Every structure is written in C-alpha cells, then in structure tokens.
Amino acid sequence: MEADVANLRNNSGNLDAKTRGAKFTVANSALSLAQSDLQSVQDALSAQKTLTVAIGKATASRLFEVRDTLRSRRQAYVAEGLASQFNWTALPDVRLQEVVEAHKSIHGIGDLGVSQLYYQVQTR
C-alpha cells in the first residue's frame, strides 16, 4: 500500500491529475486504516504480554510460598517423628534440626523448579 501511494505521488504511471487524485484518495485512506489496524494489534499484543508477565510473576511468587510451606510442614513432621523415636539427650553432639534438614524427604522437595520458573519470568 505504501508503494502504491508513493507511485501515485511520483506519478510513475503517467496518469492525469484527476485519475491520480481519485486513486490517491482511496490508496491513502486504505494505507491510513491499515496502519491504524496494525497499531491497534500491536497495542493489544503489548497489553497481553504485560498481563501474561504479571500473571507469571504472581504464579512464581505463590509457588515459592507453597514450596516454603511444604518444606516447613515436612520439617515439623520429620522432627516430630524423629523426636518420638530417639532419645536426643543421649546424642549430645547431634542436633535434631540438623538431622531434619539432612533428611531425604526434605531434600526431595528441592526447589520444585521454582528457581528456573522465577528466572524465566524475570527475564521476559
């Protein structure tokens, strides 16, 4: 469309002024509408991207909270179980909390992929 308008301005088709004027009005109006449509679509895509990033950040934040809650509850459960099974006063050099933190069920939680998700959300 831009090329059509430019050709009409330059009169590369050697048209008379009346014909050129009629064609120019139509071509220029179509170009203006197309540019407006393109801008509207770009604005809508930008707004959608902003919304998607905001949702992703909120989701990552909630995932961190869930992971931390899960880890806290699991640690309390493991500590309760170990405290009831062993006499920790007989093991003066061993702290219950250190054993809990080293327990495989706590390590099994890991970071649940939260770090990677958070990184991906922050870089977009």
Q: What is the per-residue pLDDT across 44-92, written as a single tens digit (0 to 9) for each?
A: 999 999 998 888 888 888 888 888 888 888 888 888 988 888 887 777 7
- The span from the CA of 12 to the CA of 25, in Å, is 16
Q: Distance between CA 53 and CA 123 in Å, rounded?
A: 10
C-alpha span between 56 and 123 (Å, rounded): 11
- How far is the CA of 61 from the CAs of 17, 53, 123, in angstroms? 65, 12, 15
* 75/70 Cα distance (integer angstroms): 9
Residue-range domain boundaries for the chain: 2-122
pTM above threshold 0.75: no
Q: What is the token pair recorded at 4?
A: 């059509």
